[in-house]
Amino acid sequence: MKIGVLAIQGSVKEHKAALAACGAEVLEVRVPDDLTRVAALVIPGGESTTIRKLMKLTGLDKALADRIRGGMPVYGTCAGAILLEDFMDIEVERNAYGRQMDSFEAEIKIFKGKSFNAIFIRAPKILKTSKGVEILAKYGKEVIMCRQGNILVSSFHPELTSDLRVHKYFLKMIDGQVPSEKC
């Protein structure tokens, strides 16, 4: 079973390294044909407008939409979360932390209260989540990681730390070991 990393732009090699460190077999996904070879996909942080544009050029946007609607597990970090907003009952605002807080690190609470050092880079805010969305991490009162069925998003970048807990969670999600509490 191969896990894809969308390799258009952004923190591609960091996600590949994190998944490999968890023991996963990783494949870079650039065109629709690549997507047929993977069981799940990670969408890295980067610039969502650029990623969106380039996905459209190759038709990867439509192929990915079909796979997501078909239940393929997908995890989006930061820009990736912005791209996945369309598939979830959440509302996301780009670049929503003020200028001073453009990029920052913070100790956050993850998986029901455990500490995690989270890195935010011009991060979006997850403003609203509907009832069907499971909240997995918060920064203060703000939701920064959540899941709806097969879709996982975080506004921070676990791939930029050596903490593998989020990637391990995603791999468990792929294996069906952590069913969403909201399903």
Residues that are catalytic: 78, 157, 159
Q: Which of 3, 43, 79, 166 binds ligand GLN (CB under 6 A)?
A: 79
Q: Which residues in the 148-177 window bind ligand GLN by CB under 6 A?
A: none
Q: Which of 2, 9, 54, 94 binds ligand GLN (CB under 6 A)?
A: 94
The count of chain residues that interact with ligand GLN, using the rule CB under 6 A, is 11
Q: How does strand 90-93 pair with strand 103-110? A: unpaired
Q: Which of 2, 109, 122, 165 binds ligand GLN (CB under 6 A)?
A: 122
Q: Which of 82, 84, 143, 160 binds ligand GLN (CB under 6 A)?
A: 82
Residue 179 C-beta: closest distance to ligand GLN, Å: 28
Locate tokens 């591609």: which residue?
A: 12
Q: How does strand 114-121 pair with strand 142-148? A: unpaired
Note the residue count of the chain. Answer: 183
Q: Which residues lie below 8 Å from residue 51, measured CB to CB, with a gap of 6+?
A: 6, 8, 9, 10, 43, 79, 80, 83
Check residue 46 for interaction with ligand GLN (CB under 6 A).
Answer: yes
Residue 120 has, within 13 A of its CA and on its CB side, a CA count of 27
Q: Which of 4, 45, 73, 149 binds ligand GLN (CB under 6 A)?
A: 45
Complex with ligand GLN: residue 4 or 46, whichever CB lies closer = 46
The pair of structure tokens assigned to 14 is 């960091």
The pair of structure tokens assigned to 66 is 């079909």
Residue 50 C-beta: closest distance to ligand GLN, Å: 8
Check residue 121 for interaction with ligand GLN (CB under 6 A).
Answer: yes
CA 28/CA 3 separation, integer angstroms: 9
Residue 91 C-beta: closest distance to ligand GLN, Å: 15
Integer-rounded Cα radius of gyration of the chain: 15
Q: Contact positions toward ligand GLN, by CB under 6 A?
A: 45-48, 78-79, 82, 94-95, 121-122
